[in-house]
Amino acid sequence: MGSKTFQKSAVKRLYKELKSFESADGLALVQPNTDDLSVLYIDIKVLDNPKIYPVDETYRLVVNPSPTYPFDAPQIKFIKYDRYSDTSFKIPIHPHIYSNGHICLNILYDGWSPANTLHSIAISIQSMLSGNTLTIRPTDDGDYCSRAPSNPRLTRWVFDDDTV
């Protein structure tokens, strides 16, 4: 199971969730090592906002579930490069997505609930992109990225804008 020792309930839940991606429109789960649940990838295509996100563009999230998932939120962020597939990706431009891939979205942090699933999180992020009308990064992108921890869960986020 990789470097983490997952609780049996976490393993059972994650395998169940992996199946939910089989019929998801514009979403795909990539598991480079089927014996390791500590690193998963979710590919997202934005199918209904071609002015900002070309339909043929794929954005990749890296997901690191905690050993006590779903009781603790997974670490999730967009990545620019996947060493497993030797593929480059773009970080989508959005007022709540930093250029380092960190996503300012309450349900990934303080608003996490064990009722959330990887699939529901992916749909939320895909929906966030679909509804976006602005081609800008967060106003503090440069400052935040220069001091941000590699794990976005270590950031103390302030959620004050739910209009975007």
**CATH of span 8-154:** 3.10.110.10
Question: What is the pTM (predicted TM-score) of this model?
Answer: 0.90
Catalytic residue set: 104
Residue closest to 141 by CA, chosen among 105, 107, 94, 109: 94
Of all residues in the chain, the percent with pLDDT exceeding 90 is: 71
- In the predicted structure, residue 163 carries a pLDDT above the cut 80: no
Structure confidence by residue, pLDDT tens digits, 73-111: 999 999 999 888 889 999 999 999 999 999 999 999 999
Amino acid 18: pLDDT: 86
Q: What share of the chain is helix, strand, coil (3-state, %, to 5)?
A: 25, 15, 60
Q: What is the mean pLDDT of residues 49-59?
A: 95
Amino acid 160: pLDDT: 66
- In the predicted structure, residue 1 carries a pLDDT above the cut 50: no
